[in-house]
Structure 1
């Protein structure tokens, strides 16, 4: 899937320039204490990015932390992440969030902020003591309460109970958090939450506050589903209709979760794959934390119509997806890891599948957004074969990884994978045990596109997503029908196969021949990358002039493009139903028109 991973390169141009790390002197360490150090990590002239790192240098656990400092007049914090930052004039205070307050001996945690002005912090204090560790931090925050238990669950309410937290000076009360947002403060160890929606999933945690008004770490999370069924029925039909939402699309493409609502697409899909989480050091990790959970949305940009506040526990795409699910309860969201750019990390992950799976579940079930994700998708391009890099993990590695993911996530989570559609003899499908892995997965997203394109600059011109073979196809087996047939022959059930649709075209320039098979001189110009263009642009700039192998092509001037239209998608959906496939998926939402005509074609075709 060349295009959708190269698209990430467009995001990198938006990063602010790095000015180098400019840190304060490393503090001395003292037994029974903790330290806080500061570094300016970026400076772009009109502003800067700062980072504080808190480290427990003592011998006992630290249950909470508060960092205080002074900025000279004219320097201030404009936004922050991984801490609650407030100020009184030029005096600034940062407190841990519910999930990152506890530090074991030797452990450290960082939080960051964007700022304006040119001053440096001074007068640092950590929990009332010196930031260099020369004095013992003061009053400890309370411990985490016990994980709540749920009882008396009805259509609209649930009773929560938990074991008490402990504190050296006494616990004053408890904050009850639903889906990461505070819904109540109580003095006892139980609470009944009311006014809920029936047939809806919620996640609850609790954190204690001591007599000094310090909050401790959040408890473990309990998931609750209210009884009854939702008012809104899911889309008609029983087929999966899944779209990829790209994390970086909120930048240059200016495509946000709310666009799924305004386009009408949210009512016509069943699943969303959020792309992409990274795979580093054999573990799953969030990639762009700002876009994922820190970017603030105004009221007009937000799905709910309410503006984000600077101190709310969760913002960004994850919070918008939470709001989308509240509005469209039938939608399930999966966190997709890997992709073209990040698949290089799977080789190390395959060396310890159990550890990899555990790390993925920790990300998916992070208490801040545990209610957002209903499963995980693995996009390994390609196991035991070559993509951006060449993998040598062996034919059993993909099956082993899939088995470990299912064992870790259990039956209540969706576990899926995006896989190659190379149906050639001895090709990528033959390189891994996709048949054996299928027993552990809910379905495969078969990437039946990107077969041909201007990565072969001189052509021949050919449709990048042919449904079937045709006379003159540049390579045998490079079409949807052959890929699906090969996967079936390896024992993958038809219902576990989703047909892939690209919401974009691939094109060449220097082409004189209208029919496929012509020569070219290179890639046609594209908005984000040569040889690539969104459907929403192509439908007007280079309308289709013919069809071949179930997909459309267009010759305009010296350019030649291939892409799917509502009509060809209708043909492909009929074919998918006749094959008994589980449905269809597409890459990706932002390539569609503002009224979602390609999503509509998929929905109508699968009814």
Structure 2
């Protein structure tokens, strides 16, 4: 799941074409990063990330009253940038009506990287409840989204829309009962409105269990209307859901002996979606640029007991990779990902080596590429993004 305040293959449109032989390399930029994290669009450039990305998803727009709405007006388009913090090195204009915020910074970034595409992502863990109302009138919802994404105030920022519905006809923060065809109807309406000149994508569940969230929705039928799916192959095992353990890697690529839930691993989700009829090239494998952790742990190997979530900078049980690589270096590997036991804390996260191997898996499976949640968790020189973009 993403944090928020988290069929037949279509002929690629010009907006889909990339120059990266390894496929799409997408990463999310969260609007709230500009606050406590002090991570701005300029950091995407100075870290070297922009040159490695084919697409950026801007998270999140809200879904309310059956419509797409702005998530954070100040961060999105109102906050003025001075010369030192802007991508261009020029302060934002003070003329009335001038575009500010991250939207203007993204415009500047695209000028430096003309091939880079940006999508506006709507929903997320916190704001997915609005999709239930949106599904009652998909055409009206699609109309509102198109008008907002293509608003003249930020013309040229966005190349399409990403829908992060957690989860259609299933439960996330809230439960949706719109039916197994609701997601398809919404997707069809979005494609009809956005046409083929703009991208329409979706972040979807990676629940590979029998009778789980993938089975609750007809993702194969809906895939006809999407350029691709971002399969959220992370957050399988977290301390928030199981505070006393067992400890387990939050993003295992494959199963392992003792895995707490069969089907909770990346390969299970990918193969389940493929068997259902979603084309491989429409699936992007997800990586987390963060770790999940427990405290009160005595056992190094996965499967130990705990007393609760480990302390995190912004949220208990969660920490950025850029922090963990120094405070709790990896000292174990399992199921294609890394883990670390440091004192009484136990963390799992991807390192450059495991991230690169996951990108290799995506390529070997004929997937459309890889994506990451989210850019601020990487190091100042983009260690993780560099690893996945080289495959």
Normalising by the residue count of structure 2, what TM-score does the alignment of the two structures yield? 0.96
- Aligned residue in 1 for 2:73: 289
2-structure distance, mates of 1:599, 1:401: 32
- Aligned residue in 2 for 1:365: 150
2-structure distance, mates of 1:394, 1:588: 30
Of 296, 301, 316, which residue of structure 1 is paired with 2:101? 316
- Aligned residue in 2 for 1:544: 330
Tell me the CA shift for residue 370 of structure 1: 2.1
- Aligned residue in 2 for 1:407: 192
Q: Secondary structure at the match of 1:254?
A: coil
Tell me the CA shift for residue 237 of structure 1: 1.2
Residue 269 of structure 2 is aligned to residue 483 of structure 1: yes
Residue 185 of structure 2 is aligned to residue 432 of structure 1: no
- Aligned residue in 2 for 1:63: none
- Aligned residue in 2 for 1:567: 353
CA contact (8 A) 1:235 1:267 kept: no
1-structure distance, mates of 2:251, 2:339: 10
CA contact (8 A) 1:235 1:269 kept: no
Tell me the CA shift for residue 350 of structure 1: 0.2
Normalising by the residue count of structure 1, what TM-score does the alignment of the two structures yield? 0.62
Deviations 1:100-122 (A, max 9, x none): xxxxxxxxxxxxxxxxxxxxxxx
2-structure distance, mates of 1:287, 1:476: 36
Residue 89 of structure 2 is aligned to residue 300 of structure 1: no
2-structure distance, mates of 1:336, 1:370: 16
Greater gyration radius: 1
Unaligned runs of 5+ in 2: 7-13
Residue 167 of structure 2 is aligned to residue 382 of structure 1: yes
Residue 381 of structure 2 is aligned to residue 595 of structure 1: yes
Show structure 1 runs of 4+ deviating over 3 A.
Answer: 233-236
Tell me the CA shift for residue 234 of structure 1: 6.0
The total of aligned residue pairs comes to 380
CA contact (8 A) 2:18 2:24 kept: no
2-structure distance, mates of 1:604, 1:566: 11
1:188-207 equivalence runs, <5 A: none
Deviations 1:477-524 (A, max 9, x none): 000000000000110000000000000000000000000000000000
Residue 207 of structure 2 is aligned to residue 422 of structure 1: yes
1-structure distance, mates of 2:265, 2:18: 32
CA contact (8 A) 1:242 1:273 kept: yes
Residue 371 of structure 2 is aligned to residue 585 of structure 1: yes
- Aligned residue in 2 for 1:237: 21
1:218-257 equivalence runs, <5 A: 236-257=20-41
Q: Secondary structure at the match of 1:461?
A: coil
Of 425, 439, 443, which residue of structure 1 is paired with 2:228? 443
2-structure distance, mates of 1:496, 1:370: 27
2-structure distance, mates of 1:443, 1:467: 20
1-structure distance, mates of 2:333, 2:183: 36
Residue 312 of structure 2 is aligned to residue 520 of structure 1: no
Tell me the CA shift for residue 574 of structure 1: 1.1
1-structure distance, mates of 2:33, 2:122: 16
Q: Secondary structure at the match of 2:264?
A: coil
Q: Secondary structure at the match of 2:151?
A: coil
CA contact (8 A) 1:379 1:417 kept: yes
Tell me the CA shift for residue 573 of structure 1: 1.0
Unaligned runs of 5+ in 1: 10-224, 226-232
CA contact (8 A) 2:231 2:284 kept: yes
Higher relative contact order (CA 8 A, sep 6+): 2
CA contact (8 A) 1:339 1:380 kept: yes
CA contact (8 A) 1:235 1:268 kept: no
Deviations 1:374-397 (A, max 9, x none): 000000000000000000000000
Judging by fraction of residues, say which structure has more helix.
Answer: 2
